[in-house]
Amino acid sequence: MKIELTVDGKYLALSVSSDKPLNLLLRDDLEIRSLQSHCNGGLCGNCIVLLEGKAVLSCMIPSFEARGKTIVTYDGFCRTRDYRDIEKAFAACSAFPCNTCYAARVLQIESIVRRYERGGDIDETEILQESQLIRCFCMDNGSFLAVVKESISNRRKRKNVRRAPVA
């Protein structure tokens, strides 16, 4: 089956098996390095990617469902200015996920930040429920929530900075 999609800003036309999970397409065919080779079929959460801006477990998405969609992986995201907002939040909160889940946590936080960057009340219960996608216990709920809030604050500050008019 032929699909067209955009991965990390690159438009691609690929031939894929209809039953191939998205994580295998990304890891094996496109050589996305941040996706773990030891996927536990939706149990670990370490294969998160952003599909149309929302954090999803790529092992649970058949490749054909990505047809016409935009996917962002950690490999592409870590080269953006938005990544710095999250990286700074980890440092400010002195809370760092382990190497195993780092990429997935970053994308999960980015998905949350995108919902709240323009304002609105932060729903802590919803955020903590979403944090359960990743089954690693390297970060407690309080630390995760602190990093998310700091990331949102960083993003809001950066996006609301007004540029001085050019004379």
Which of the four pLDDT bands, split at 50, 70 and 90, describes residue 157? very high
**pLDDT bucket at 152, cuts 50 / 70 / 90:** very high
Give residue 17's pLDDT band: very low, low, confident or very high (50, 70, 90).
confident
pLDDT at res. 19: 86
**Which residues are within 8 A (CB) of 73 and not within 5 positions of it... i.e. 6 or more apart?**
7, 8, 26, 32, 34, 35, 49, 50, 107
Which among 81, 157, 148, 79 has a CA at the least distance from the CA of 109? 148
Span of 35-39, 41-45, 132-136 with lowest mean pLDDT: 35-39
Report the pLDDT value the prediction gives residue 37, as an integer from 0 to 100.
Answer: 65
pLDDT at 103 over 70: yes
Per-residue pLDDT at 164 exceeds 70: no
Assess whether pLDDT exceeds 90 at residue 41: no
What letter represents residue 63's amino acid? Answer: S
Given this model, what pLDDT does residue 18 score? 80
Cβ–Cβ contacts within 10 Å for residue 8, how many?
A: 20
